[in-house]
Amino acid sequence: MKIDKISVPKNKAKELWLQYHQAITEKNYKYLKEMKSLYFHLKNGRKVIDIYEAFKNAGLNQFNQPKLAISRADKKEVFVELRPNGSCKFSDEIWKEKWSVYLPEGTFTYPETLKFSYFNPLTYNTKVPIVPPLFLPRSHLRNYHILFEVENWKSVTKDPILIKRITRNLFVILAFWNLSPLEKALIKGR
């Protein structure tokens, strides 16, 4: 999976992290904490992705379905609701708001022949990849997401990436791996 990553040289990220760290003691603005967190990960050599751009750049497959999916890492299945304005919502249950990742208007462009409405969105679902033991985070999986490539929304996925959400659209990449044939078989039966 090819996704544009945001990176900063470690020494520059460390300098900027320190600036945000010091600014937080004077002001308690949310964006200061978010930037501090982003620079913390960047100074430790991690990369950041903007999922709004990742989904827009990946686009749609031949069936007008997103080529990427995102889910909370502890879920077995993810649903996507596509809206005519090019926005969409990823969640673990259709029509529910337990957790969701929203992509803004204009993320996707659909052919005019595709017929659906805001009140009758196109909905697809697929299985969520599992996280191998090597990449399991210390805290609960519900605090993380998995971004993955979807060739066909009815088949097993490929190229998962474990990510941690910092803002609505910015996530830190923690790990990526290839699914083994045994892992794919297990996911299929979940």
The pLDDT of residue 108 is above 80: yes
Q: For the whole prediction, is pTM greater than 0.75?
A: yes
**Cα distance between residue 79 and residue 170, in whole Å:** 21
The pLDDT of residue 113 is above 90: no
Which residue in 53, 149, 65, 148 sits closest to 106, CA to CA? Answer: 53
Summarised one tens digit per residue, pLDDT across range 146-163 is 999 998 888 777 789 999
pLDDT at 12: 94
pLDDT at 154: 82
Summarised one tens digit per residue, pLDDT across range 48-78 is 999 999 999 999 998 899 999 999 999 999 9
Q: Provide the residue type at 117 as one letter.
A: S
The pLDDT of residue 25 is above 80: no
Instruction: Please report, for the chain, the start and end positions of each structural domain, with discontinuous segments joined by +.
Output: 10-46, 49-188
Residue 111 contacts by C-beta under 8 Å, 6 or more apart in sequence? 64
Alpha carbon dihedral 74, 75, 81, 86, in 10-degree steps, equals 30
Could you tell me if 144 and 162 are in contact, meaning their C-beta atoms sit under 8 angstroms apart? yes
The pLDDT of residue 188 is above 70: yes
Rg of the chain taking only CA atoms, in angstroms: 18
